[in-house]
Amino acid sequence: MLSVHEVTTAYQGLVAISAVSIEVQKGEIVCVAGANGAGKSTLLKSIAGAERPRSGTVTFDGKRLDGMAQHHITATGIAYVPENRRLFPRLSVRDNLRLGSYLYRGEANREEPLDLVFTLFPRLSERLEQRAETLSGGEQQMLAIGRALMTRPRLLMLDEPSQGIMPKLVDEIFQAVKRIRDAGMTVLIVEQRMAECLEIADRAYILQTGRVLMQGAASEIIGNPDVRKAYLGL
Amino acid sequence: MGLLYGLIAVGLALIFGLMDVTNFAHGEFLMIAMYLSFFLFAFFAIDPLLSAPLVAAAMFVFGAVVYLLVVRFAMRAKANAGMVQIFTTFGLAILMRGLAQFFFTPDYRSIPQSWVGGKTISIAGIFLPAPQLIGALVSILAFAGLYLFIHRTDFGRALEATREDPGAVALVGIDKNRVFALGWGLGAALVGLAGAIMASFFYIYPDVGASFALIAYVTVALGGFGSVFGAFAGGIIVGLVEATTALVLPPSLKSVGIYAVYLLVVFIRPRGLFGSM
């Protein structure tokens, strides 16, 4: 479904990821793990069009994405939830969600994914009139995922969804990711919390200093003694 | 008059709030709109009141084109972006003034006979000049329309979202450049509407925008940066202050009151009366 081929992205001459290749099949949950600065966020940005790769190709269902404008990439069916969530802080929860369905304005069933969003995150439905900035960190993450779901993605990309969130809600969000996959979507997730991420993922990649260090089934990686020692502290 | 000041300032506040760019050519937008109105009258004998929607529509296109052809590139500056934007719109202002002097000549022009020009309307024994009254009415309608547009439509919501975080709208599939162009178009259309109305009771000449633009900047600062409602309310206040000053001081000093109130507000409440920044 998604194929990233030897993508290199640099910021002002500093190479953040170098010749990274990953594959995501339809219906999978794929986890990209790695330490801070390994290039995980850059990888997602390069796919989403928020950064322009210096070289390499990104293809999504046979369509070349590299070089395409970011809003066009969203319209092809990739929803991207960035690390800092990028909600519209002074707009209400309702308006944030409605903006998610902007591409479907004028359609009668534009609010269709709302049912799924409220099933996954019932607390959002209680806070519809609140400004997004008044939500807690966990709720903001839920809203960011909810807004992304409103764009009706086939592929959902999450950057560090657990960041800055209390442990109880982290669990809730990972459970939601599983249910999003069960609803027919594909999920590519980038995380520092490798243990939780590998638990729900089908396959995983480990990035280190901008390169793919290891890849395979999540169960294999979680069982690898080196990984256990270096990343999981076991 | 205050409502017209408000209408001019709203256009400026809209663009500023949307993208933090001050349009220093705002007064020249007003000037172009006034000339448009004048020529429509001179060549086709269309009354300024009738041609106002036409002028507003033309100005919408003009504003959007100015964004797409000029401002968009100015915003790409990597260093000193604020300065580049200031000098770009300022340069645009001077260019527009120069072109107006060349093509339209510096002569003062006016629309001698319009439906409302020079007439008065009496309300409860008070005689009010008709053009100003119509201007006030049009301003209120335009502001109400803008308010509904921002709060009730998807484009309006996209405008608000872009103003919150232009880097995030692509996440929901919105092209920020289109929204910016729309914002410039709307801002220009609003000032265009004001210009069209004012054409029937002000002299029209290439520098006419300058004094009104200055008042518009004061109005925006008074009402609160980035607040469209504040700009409109600020316009009303400026109009009232101007009228009151004219009663107590000689007419030539009527602007003094505006700037005095402006300084007072800036000292006491730097973000403006209704500002949230």
Nearest CA of chain B to the CA of A93: how many Å?
12
CB atoms within 10 A of CB B35: 22
Total number of residues shown for chain B: 277
B154/A105 touch (CB, cutoff 8 Å), yes or no = yes
Using alpha carbons, list the distances in angstroms from residue A224 to A193, A227, A231: 16, 5, 11
Query: In this model, does residue B277 exceed pLDDT 70?
Result: no
The two beta strands, A2-11 and A63-64, are unpaired
B173/A74 touch (CB, cutoff 8 Å), yes or no = yes
What pLDDT is stored for residue A35 in this prediction?
85
Query: In this model, does residue B247 exceed pLDDT 80?
Result: yes
Confidence band for B62, pLDDT divided at 50, 70 and 90 = very high
Using alpha carbons, list the distances in angstroms from residue B68 to B33, B73, B192: 19, 8, 18
Q: Are B70 and B5 in contact (CB under 8 A)?
A: no
- For residue B149, report the phi and psi dihedrals to the nearest 5 degrees: -60, -45
In whole angstroms, give the CA distance from residue B74 to residue A10. Answer: 24
B187: exposed, middle or buried (Cβ count in 10 Å: 0-12, 13-18, 19+): buried
Q: Are B8 and B216 in contact (CB under 8 A)?
A: yes
For residue A182, give the nearest of A100, A91, A106, A119 by alpha carbon.
A119
A69/B157 touch (CB, cutoff 8 Å), yes or no = no
Percent of chain B with pLDDT over 90: 33
DSSP class of A65: -
What 3-state class would DSSP assign to B166?
Answer: coil
Reported as a single tens digit per residue, the pLDDT across A50-84 is 999 999 999 999 999 998 999 999 999 999 999 99
What is the value of pTM for the model shown?
0.86
CA closest to A100 among chain B residues: B172
Percent of chain B with pLDDT over 70: 95
The two beta strands, A186-191 and A155-159, are parallel
Nearest CA of chain B to the CA of A197: how many Å?
23
Q: What is the mean pLDDT of residues A175-194?
A: 93
Query: In this model, does residue B129 exceed pLDDT 70?
Result: yes
For residue B212, give the nearest of B21, B22, B28 by alpha carbon.
B28
What pLDDT is stored for residue A63 in this prediction?
93
A50 interaction partners in chain B (CB closer than 8 Å): 170
